[in-house]
Amino acid sequence: MTGKAALDQIMARFGPDSRRARALRWLTAWREVAELTFDIPQAAVVFPAVITALDQCDAAFAADNWRDFQAAAALVRTLVAGQ
């Protein structure tokens, strides 16, 4: 089962604001970011910008700020797509 399918299942069972749904939402989002960035070499032109965006993801996660995390993750996606 994919992370998205598991999240949908948990949200349906426990509600979108349940502790389980929130935890799985974060895990799924972090997995996506990890998959996007795992093979970017330090010599890549986008590497410093990606690290900065990952720091923003981390700060948003620490603050439990889903909206800011999504914005930083979108920046990661854009940077990786443009490399």
DSSP 1-26: --HHHHHHHHHHHH-TTSHHHHHHHH
Q: Count Cβ atoms within 10 A of the Cβ of residue 32 and give its class: 0-12 exposed, 13-18 middle, 19 or more buried.
A: middle
Number of domains in the chain: 1
Domain of residue 45 covers 3-81
Residues 15-58 pLDDT 10s: 667 777 788 889 999 999 999 999 999 999 999 999 999 999 99
Residues 58-75 pLDDT 10s: 999 999 999 999 999 999
C-alpha 76 chain-centroid distance: 9
Between 34 and 8, the higher pLDDT residue: 34
Q: Count Cβ atoms within 10 A of the Cβ of residue 76 and give its class: 0-12 exposed, 13-18 middle, 19 or more buried.
A: buried
